[in-house]
Structure 1
Amino acid sequence: MATNTAPALQNLPLEPNSFVGRERDVSDILRLIEAHRVVTLCGVGGIGKTRLALRVAGHATSHFRDGVWLCELSDTTSRKEIITRMATAVGVGEEDGRDLEHTLADVLRSRGLLLVLDNCEHVVADVAAVVERLVALCPDVSFLVTSREPARAPGEAVWRVPPLAVPRPDQDDPCGAEAVRLFVDRARASAHDFTATPERLEVIAEICRRLDGIPLGIELAAARVRLLSVTQIAARLGDRFTVLTSGERGAPARQQTLRAVIDWSHGMLDERERVLLRRLSVFSNWNLDLAERVCADASLPAESLLDLVVSLVDRSLVTVAGEEQGRMRYRLLDTIRQYAAARLDDSGEEEALRLRHREQMLALAEELSRNTVFGHGMAWPQRVDVWYRVLVDYDNLRSALSWSATREDAAEGLRLCVALRPFWMVSGQRAEGAYWTDRFLAMGCADEGLRGQAMVRRAELAWDQRDHARAAHVGEEGLRYCRAAGDDDSVALALNILAMTDMRDRELDRARERLAEAVALTRAVGDPWNEGLALGTQGALAALEGRLDEAGAHYEEALTILRRIDHRWGVGRTLIGQGMVAEARGDLFGADQCFREALDIQRSIGGAPELARCLAGVGRISALQGAVAQAYDYLSESLALCHGTGQRLGVARGLLAIATVARTQGLDAEATVLAGAAAGVRERSGHPPASAPWPLRDGAFAARWEEGRSLDVDEAVKSALRLAETGRAPRRRPQAPDTAPSALTRREHEIALLIGEGMSNRSIAESLFISPATVARHVANIHTKLGFNSRTQIAAWIRDH
């Protein structure tokens, strides 16, 4: 397999409209970024900091070998949330038993990238602390920050974002001024027949001067040309701005001007538009369905919201954020959102809107929870659909959690935590889930059944974080509450978690009893999801005790149940266990089938740790079957994925796996260096040594072993990937390169070219507007026609021919 886990080079959004002016600013800031590792763009709201930062970042992509990454921080409230957002932006996952900040620093230490931290003023001290630490530890990472005040990080260069240039009163041709160019551009976008006559240009120049060249103010004014002439706009601005009395009296003049232009634009809305605008401030972003459920009432009927949203978009008060799952999503610029939130507070509606917002977020989260464990009658695409809806609305869910915590609404907060547990588990955000659950549990909750549910889910998070003592303690207490409440689902889940802690502590008889109880309970109440989990854990227990045939039978029974309810995530997890049992029994064909099916499932879901385990499994079996080149391909991809997401134990295992394959080729010295490096990674990360000692670590190989142990993780990974590349067996090349393409269909050749560019099946499918399954079929045909067995061979053939 070619590497499908190579990182993209940026996550910047598409520009919603043309970028006007500031050409010199962009060039100057790019030079600042070359000279300083922390550059902060400062200025009042609406001055254009974010748009300028995104423009600079787009130009800077080629200057950073690992790309540029946007991290939006407008709704963060703590250092932990900042770290989580940054890790998500660059694709770093949580590492079991370790603080995410340390994992992030380790991964970024070898990367050369630019992080764009947007809207930081409300958490500027925490941002400065995180940036200072990463600058010290990661020599090739730079930061571009936007804030209304400097971050004051060491070595920071501050760029005060100026207003757009406005024409002088005596200037003959105002068209060259940036502010006028922006007004004309946005006016034409609003009214396509708008023409900039000399008479209009004189009035536009005056409007831009009155607005102090503030881009947001100019855009709001230009959006009115569909309803008003530029002369009418200027007259209304004149009435408003003759004396700047809007906003706070002590605020800077430009801030007063911005407040005044937003007041003016707000004042031109009709009453229903004003009501909707202030109500929309409860969202981080939204689609029309969500807005109808939260914002509509008797005074603002749901059927009227589409026209009102379109009207607010036309007036540049609402921004189109893009399309997700076939639905357009919208957002408010941070400055507009703050203004609208103040209007909502003044109206006395805030609590009612926040409650409605939380009610919708609870409904979404609890639908996810039900779909995760629901038994019969639900196809896998339905389960995936709600998971993606949670992903899209996760910032809104965070807002609901934060608001509930501020009010100390323990019960509602715990309900959210219980429901979001599947999302936190699959997406790898276990630390965030643990943070919120602990916070609400500490408040106390009169509903002991709900408290028990939350404690059981908290135990599961602790288990996945390798905090086994906490998993056992919290799990036992949660089990007691759930038994008392008659919550069979949670009792079964608790028994499964506690059985796993028993297995780790070698309390195997107790684990066996718990699992037997869990299976009996789930069968009695008709709970196939938890029954499948318990059977899978019974398989793991039997394998631990060396009863491999029994283990295989348990896994097979679990798979039958999970396939019957079409729960592919559960199937994928179970297949990994079954594959390991087959491998231990010497059933290479069966193991290969398990790992490959699990790999297909994990690629579609995107869970990095499980995906890495599947890749490693296929790689090991390929090596045992004599397919050395294919083994190196899969093991290299697994190693790169673990390294890129900060999974040090996975890195150690990957190094050792590649070393093992290299040893079969007689590359003993090189293999011993890698095996020593694997041991060093384990030692430094606090993990126990590998179960089987490396046989070539003494005598003539002692120096090589110590050489490997001294390598840092980045050098070790590079060495392993180099060794895998040189150790691959000779590939079969096409005999007639000039005529080989004719063996492929036009579509197959098109897909081969995209594979040569390093694109995954999912990316190819999105690019060609076909399904991933169709891409997979074409790839299989390419392999057959050209005599290849890996994507790497296809890519090499494309490069050569």
Structure 2
Amino acid sequence: MAPRTAPARQNLPQESDSFIGRERDLGDLLRLLAADRVVTLCGVGGVGKTRLALRVAAHATAAFRDGVWLAEMAGVSTPHEIAARVAAAVGVTEETGRPLAETLRDALRTRRVLLILDDCTRAAADVAELGAALTGACPEVTLLITAGAPLGLPGEAVWHVPPLALPGEEGDPREAEAVRLFLDRARAADPDFSADPESVASATRICRLLDGVPLALELVAAWLRRMPVRRAEALLAEALHPSGAPPPGPREEPSHMRRAEPPRPREAEPARPAPRARLLRAALEQSHALLGEEERVLLRRLSVFADWTLESAERVCPDPALPEDAVLDLVSSLAERSLIALTREFQGRVRYRLPGVVRAFAAERLAAAGEEEAVRLRHRDHMLRITEEMGASSVAGRLMPWAERFAQWLLASVEYDDIRAALHWTAGRRDTEEGLRFCAALRPYWGTGYHFTEGMGWTERFLAMPGGSAAVRARASVSAAELSWARGDLDSARHHGRTALSLAEEVGDEPAEAAALNILALAALRSGTAEEAAGRLERTLALARRTGDLWNEAIALSTQGALAARHGDFAEADALYNAALMILRGMDHRWGVGVSLLGQATAAERQNDIAVADRCYRESLDIQRDIGAAPELARCLFGVGRVAHAFGATSQAYDYLAEGLLLSQSTGQRAGVAVGLASIARVAAGAGEVRGGCILAGAAAALRERAEPGRAPRPLAVKGEELGIDSETLSSLLREGRRLPVDEAVALALRITETGRLPRQRQPERKGPRPTRRALTPREREIARLVARGMGNREISERLYITPATVARHVANINRKLGFHSRKQIAAWIAKASLSD
């Protein structure tokens, strides 16, 4: 059974314009990918490496059952950033206390995926190190890399991307790849462009002048918006060969241009650019010369962005020399000239970027104009504003629509490449105050997004610098304390928490003081010092209530609930959780509600109050599906599954448990996999699958010890006396499970869940009133009819234009309302009720 939370099978961007030519390259590369696990596309900037790689990847999707995934390497500076880009592409989440590269390697060990690592030139050595680790440990991972030169990976097949083919001496020149591209872009620039013989002859000469380099052809074709093709040809010829300069030599066509060759040692960059690089440079310089002054100013200032919206450009680029109200028209003009590319739309705003070669050219112009520091300062201030707005809204105690809070969090995630660039620039200048402000504001993003290592690295880096006000140091220390706690480093959490508390008390920053007390209480609770935790929480509540700090009050109440549950006072725990939830619901803070519900559900399950546990797990499940936090979502799925089994709905329990297990495995969460194995072990043993359940219990215990070293061992999921087996047999099965590799344990668990969903015998007829059609909503009846037709969740989602996760929730609701445990029961009920179409 496929997980209901399965992601799409690719994240490739939509092509902004038509892809022309490369038919032979495309076929050869697809065959090469079938034979080699590392393929690197090399060539000068602008030759079309990225476009070709994306087109190859789009055609190769069917060959990779677990998808094709693009990770852009432009702008990365550290090995962790490289691993983070790849992890984000494939949906892997950082584990606490473990390098992300190791988590990534384990998560991909059994997946058949194609990873496109784009623009690796500047980070070649670090990308090669990660690539070698992945291909060495993951036998079905294939890498498609674009770079200026080979990376030197073991088994690397190198493909030198040629320019587009030029017309021969005979035949119709319009059939040549380069001319086809030029004519297509010429018609886009000037809808009245006519491909008459004279114009085609000029286009052919332009293609030969530019040696078929695609980006150069697109730049010159854009000139036709403002001049005839013959004028463009003359202008280009003068730019390439100023009066008296000799023409270039014949086009080089080395024999290895269209095939792969073995890896070769990397060589130093040549002192002079390659001939095709000079051609592209000349086309760029002439395009720049044709711009108006304001267009030139805007182009060079846009080079500080990784990508941007019009609003960001209007915040960062204007000054007295460039009016803000001119930016919109100037952006449109630069896009028409092929100097700006549209990437996607997000939150109703179009996002733009500069192609890599254009951005490098524009950055040179920015430095030459002496504007780099001023523009980067404005860029840094804009990123800091976005970050601080997100940070404030995440913990704001006032009522704010959840959609607004979440939208600001999502905006920060989309802008994160620019935020990271601003962090690097700020650290290089040793601007401690601004760096610490970033760290304090990014606390919610780093924490909820599981970016613990990167967040801790930045925070400790800026805290180690001299300077910075006590107030901002207090808030940044709170961030360090929370990230340390999330990573399981309690000593560091206490150190930074106490520092934050002392500084906050010194400057009178009461929200920071309350946050520091909360994190110190959590650290005390985890380390088993309950009295310290209780004292910290009492101080937090008194401070938060005096100052009207609803967020920290709710967090303290929720932590008090966990403390009461640990002491066995479940009634008090329930009351405290409900008090926290009342505050969080009043704030419309769905993330806070979801986390508190998880705590309440865990406490209720521990005292065997399965009705409350079911309600809390299911409500939190809906929230986590919307937010997309994989570890919390898996916890909900496991909880709903265990409670369903307690209700006697074993088939439904297996549905949820299998989904949670697959989600934890695919996102690299070993602790989650251990919980999933233990939960399935408990259900399997209780349902009569004693041997398999005991083996899974042993595998879960071993994995938990590796994933959470130093944590107190949890009780086994199964007990021999409850299963009717002797202790020696139980020990033998547990030892067998402990020796089982994780992937084999997961496969065994999934086989058990699949078998457990099959009907074993005819069930006795249910007593009481029959389920009625009125028990379901109209949408649920519609989905029930499609289930009766044998359609899966993916088919239903496509039919009704809703997500597979939404379909899964409806199916679960149908089962719960009608007392069913399987899709077959739904189908039988539909047939009996004569509701099928």
Instruction: Name the TM-score, length of structure 1 as normaliser.
Output: 0.93
Q: 1:559 to 1:686 in 2, by over 3 A?
A: closer
Match of 1:435 in 2: 457
1:633 and 1:792 in contact (8 A); partners too: no
Structure 1 counterpart of 2:219: 220
Residue 229 in structure 1 maps to residue 251 in structure 2: no
Q: Which residue of 2 aligns with 1:315?
A: 337
For the structure 1 residues 311 and 145, does the alpha-carbon distance in structure 2 shift closer, same or farther, using more than 3 Å as the test?
A: same
> Is 1:450 the equivalent of 2:449?
no
C-alpha distance in 2 between matches for 1:777 and 1:64: 28
State whether residues 96 and 452 of structure 2, in contact with CA within 8 Å, keep that contact through their aligned partners in structure 1: no
Name the CA distance, whole Å, in 2 between partners of 1:788 and 1:215: 60
Matched residue, 2:747? 718
Structure 1 window deviating more from structure 2 (401-410 vs 119-128): it is 401-410
Which of 442, 445, 470 is the matching residue for 2:492?
A: 470
Name the residue aligned to 1:740: none
How far does residue 428 in structure 1 lie from its aligned partner after superposition? 1.5
Q: For the Cα contact (< 8 Å) 2:697–2:717, is it kept in 1?
A: no
Change (3 A) 1:747 1:260: farther
Question: What residue is the counterpart of 2:555 in the other structure?
Answer: 533
Residues in 1 aligned to 2:516 and 2:316: alpha-carbon distance in whole angstroms: 36
Flag the 1:797–1:185 CA change in 2: closer, same or farther, 3 A. Answer: farther
Q: Matched residues in 2 for 1:8 and 1:722: separation?
A: 24
* Counterpart position of 1:149: 149
Q: C-alpha deviations, 1:468-521, integer Å up to 9, x for none?
A: 221112211222112111111111111111112112222211111111000000
- Deviation string 1:102-129 (CA, Å, 9 cap, x unpaired) is 1111111111111110011111011111
- Taking the TM superposition and a 5 Å limit, the aligned residue runs for 1:183-202 are 183-202=182-201
What SS does structure 2 have at the residue aligned with 1:196? coil
Equivalent residue number for residue 580 of structure 1: 602
One-letter identity of the residue aligned with 1:242: H
What's the counterpart of residue 528 of structure 2? 506
8 Å contact from structure 1 (residues 673, 709) kept in 2: yes
Distance change >3 Å, CA 295–CA 423, structure 1 → 2: same
- Give 1:372 deviation, angstroms: 1.1
Counterpart CA distance in 2 for 1:300 and 1:750 is 61
Tell me how large the CA RMSD over aligned residues is: 2.9
Check 1:456–1:778 CA distance in 2 against 1; reply closer, same or farther (3 A cut). closer
Rounded Cα–Cα distance in structure 2 between residues aligned with 1:283 and 1:791: 51
- 1:728 counterpart (757, 763, 767): 757
CA drift of 1:773 comes to: 11
CA contact (8 A) 2:53 2:146 kept: yes
Is the alpha carbon distance of 1:273 and 1:51 closer, same or farther for their aligned partners in structure 2, counting shifts above 3 Å?
A: same
Shift in Å at residue 451 of structure 1?
Answer: 1.4
**Are positions 1:165 and 2:165 aligned together?**
yes
Q: Which residue of 2 aligns with 1:738?
A: none
Number of the residue aligned with 1:736: none
Instruction: Please list the CA deviations of residues 237-281 of structure 1 after superposition, one character each: whole Å capped at 9, or x if unmatched.
Output: 0110115899x9821111111100000111111111111111111
CA distance in 2, matches of 1:194, 1:749: 56
Q: Could you say which residue in structure 2 is the equivalent of 1:50? A: 50
Structure 1 window deviating more from structure 2 (233-242 vs 187-196): it is 187-196
- Alignment map for 1:69-84 (pairs within 5 Å): 69-84=69-84
TM-superposition CA deviations, 1:337-370 (whole Å, max 9, x none): 1111111111111111111111111111111111
Q: Which residue of 1 aligns with 2:368?
A: 346
- Aligned equivalent of 1:114: 114
One-letter amino acid of the structure 1 residue matched with residue 105 of structure 2: A
What letter matches 1:344 in structure 2? L
Deviation (angstroms), 1:700: 2.8
Query: 3-state SS of the aligned residue for 1:142?
Result: strand
Q: Is the 8 A contact 1:535 1:558 kept in 2?
A: yes
Matched residue, 1:691: 715
Q: CA deviation at 1:7?
A: 3.1
Alignment of 1:524 onto 2:546: yes
Q: Which residue of the partner structure matches residue 21 of structure 2?
A: 21
Structure-2 change in CA distance of 1:333 and 1:751 (3 Å): farther
Decide whether aligned partners of structure 1 residues 17 and 795 sit closer, same or farther in structure 2, where only a CA change above 3 A counts. Answer: farther
Does structure 2 retain, via aligned residues, the 8 Å contact 1:2–1:791? no
Tell me how far apart the structure 1 counterparts of residues 828 and 72 of structure 2 sit (CA, whole Å).
Answer: 38
Q: Contact 1:522 / 1:530 at 8 angstroms: preserved in 2?
A: yes
| Alpha-carbon distance between aligned partners in 2 of 1:189 and 1:677, rounded to the nearest angstrom | 61
Confirm or deny: 8 A CA contact 2:436 2:468 kept in the other structure: no
Question: What's the CA shift for 1:142?
Answer: 1.2
How do 1:347-362 residues align onto structure 2 when only pairs under 5 Å count?
A: 347-362=369-384
C-alpha separation in 1, matches of 2:357 and 2:803: 40
SS at the partner of 1:323?
strand
SS in 2 for 1:114: strand
State whether residues 42 and 148 of structure 1, in contact with CA within 8 Å, keep that contact through their aligned partners in structure 2. Answer: yes
Letter in 2 for 1:328: V
Determine whether 1:606 maps to 2:628. yes
Q: Measure how far apart 1:644 and its partner are.
A: 1.0
Shift in Å, 1:66: 1.0
Q: Is the 8 A contact 1:532 1:559 kept in 2?
A: yes
- Please give the residue correspondences for 1:288-437 in structure 2 after superposition, counting only pairs within 5 Å: 288-437=310-459
Aligned-pair distance for 1:45?
0.5
Aligned to 2:5: 5
Does the CA contact (< 8 Å) of 1:2 and 1:792 recur in 2?
no
8 Å CA contact 1:110–1:140 kept in 2: the answer is yes
Indicate whether 1:653 and 2:675 are aligned.
yes
Aligned residue among 707, 716, 723 for 2:736: 707
Change (3 A) 1:71 1:607: same
Deviation of residue 381 (structure 1)?
1.3
Write the mapping of 1:645-794 to structure 2, written as runs, cut at 5 A. Answer: 645-687=667-709, 688-692=712-716, 694-696=718-720, 698-728=727-757, 730=759, 748=783, 756-759=791-794
Task: Tell me what 1:643 maps to.
Answer: 665
Partner Cα distance (2:171, 2:788) in 1: 55
Contact kept, 8 Å, 2:179 with 2:203, in 1: the verdict is yes
In 1, Cα distance between equivalents of 2:780 and 2:585: 35
The answer to whether the 8 A contact 1:2-1:633 is kept is no
- Quote the offset at 1:751 in angstroms: 7.4
CA separation of 1:538 and 1:790: change in aligned 2, threshold 3 A:
farther
Query: Is this contact kept in 1: 2:594–2:623, CA < 8 A?
Result: yes
2:119 is the alignment partner of 1:97? no
1:392, distance to aligned residue in structure 2 (A)? 1.8
C-alpha distance in structure 1 between counterparts of 2:125 and 2:2, whole Å: 43
Please point out which of 497, 512, 515 is paired with 1:490: 512
2:742 alignment partner AA: V
Matched residue type, 1:730:
P
Which deviates further from its counterpart, 658-667 or 688-697? Answer: 688-697
1:123 paired with 2:147, answer no
Distance 1:659 1:14 in 2: 44
2:723 matched residue in structure 1? none
- Would you say the 8 A contact 2:38–2:145 is kept in 1? yes
Q: State whether residues 744 and 785 of structure 1, in contact with CA within 8 Å, keep that contact through their aligned partners in structure 2.
A: no
Alpha-carbon distance, 1:22 to partner: 0.9
CA distance in 2, matches of 1:580, 1:510: 23
- 2:351 is paired with a residue of what secondary structure? strand
Change (3 A) 1:622 1:779: closer
Measure, in 2, the Cα distance between the counterparts of 1:689 and 1:318. Answer: 57
Contact 1:757 1:795 in 2 (8 A): no
Post-superposition offset of 1:388? 1.5
Residue 622 of structure 1 is matched in structure 2 by: 644
In structure 2, relative to structure 1, the CA distance for the partners of 1:792 and 1:332 (3 Å cut) is: farther
How many pairs align? 787
Q: C-alpha offsets along residues 125-176 of structure 1, whole Å, 9 cap, x if unaligned?
A: 11111111111111111111101111111111111111111124x3342112
The whole-number CA distance in structure 2 between the counterparts of 1:773 and 1:751 is: 16
Rounded to whole Å, the distance in 2 between the matches of 1:760 and 1:572 is: 29
500-509 vs 125-134, which moves further: 500-509
